[in-house]
Amino acid sequence: MSGFKKGDHILADLSSSGMGGFSEYAVVPMNQLVLKPQELTFQSAAALPVASVAALQGIRNLGKVQKGEKVLIYGAGGGVGIYATQLAIYYGAHVSALCGTKHVELLKMLGAERVLNYKLEDVDPKVETYDLILAINGNYPMREYKKLLNRNGRCICIGGSMKQIIKFMLFGGFMSLGNKKLKVLMSKPNTKDLEEMSNLVAKGHIKTILDQHFPVSETINAIQYLKEGSAVGKVIIEMNTI
């Protein structure tokens, strides 16, 4: 494969080739590599896989978002949700975001028109319905998602509990009889999508939200920090080689 030379700065999604395991070095097939834009920091590049690609595939590829549509990101405070919120706004949609307390101000800053704190309120079809819903977290009932959809609306399940994902896989087709569609996104590594996201971040259209940086020697502390649920954004492990 051409296009790469010694000294190039690259990024890759290793989820289909053994992951990284906090390793300082990894062997990666060349067809999974993407050139890192010069404007993109190593920290931002490291944060892009896998969440940003899942968000892009949910919003643009499967969700087929259109300018002017109303979009709900259910579980907007996680890695996928933060990217999905920004992507929907980038494509010209009107975005409502449901999240926890610590992410409310962040999602307002990123441009969501309506931000709901799930600890204080929930979505209500009597208040607002949507053209596209990304179901990322929780175990919200499928029938309730369907009530929240406009005519010809789409609900894309990206994450949540395993129970929720299985329900979407088993019953999504049946629930999709008619105009409203409920689907599951099986996100896969895609170099074109990763390249697209890296360029959007490099050009400033999308932000990568970074929380804390840990040296590789403090990997255990980084994992503990994540488990505590305090992070607002990505936690980065910095290798000695960078």
How does pLDDT run across 144-186, given as a tens digit for each residue?
999 999 999 999 999 777 877 888 888 788 778 889 999 999 8
Secondary structure (3-state) at 119: coil
Q: How far is CA 233 from CA 5, 45, 105, 110, 135, in A?
A: 33, 14, 13, 13, 19
The CATH number of whichever domain residue 37 belongs to comes to: 3.90.180.10
State the chain's maximal CA–CA distance in angstroms: 59
Q: Which helix (H) or strand (E) holds 184?
A: strand 181-184
Mean pLDDT, rounded, of the chain: 91
- 180 and 203, same domain (yes or no): no
- 138 and 226, same domain (yes or no): no
- 199 and 227, same domain (yes or no): yes
- 115 and 208, same domain (yes or no): no
- The token pair at 179 is 């105009």
Q: Strand ranges (DSSP E) for 30-160?
A: 33-35, 70-74, 94-99, 114-117, 130-135, 149-157
- 106 and 32, same domain (yes or no): no
- 84 and 180, same domain (yes or no): yes
Classify burial at 20, counting beta carbons within 10 Å of its beta carbon; exposed 0-12, middle 13-18, buried 19 or more.
middle
- 86 and 176, same domain (yes or no): yes
The whole domain housing 65 covers 51-184
Instruction: Name the domain count of the chain.
Output: 2
- 157 and 203, same domain (yes or no): no
What pLDDT is attached to residue 215?
92
- 114 and 141, same domain (yes or no): yes
- The token pair at 76 is 């907007």
- 111 and 57, same domain (yes or no): yes
pLDDT tens digits, one per residue of 175-218: 788 899 999 998 888 999 999 999 999 999 999 999 999 999 99
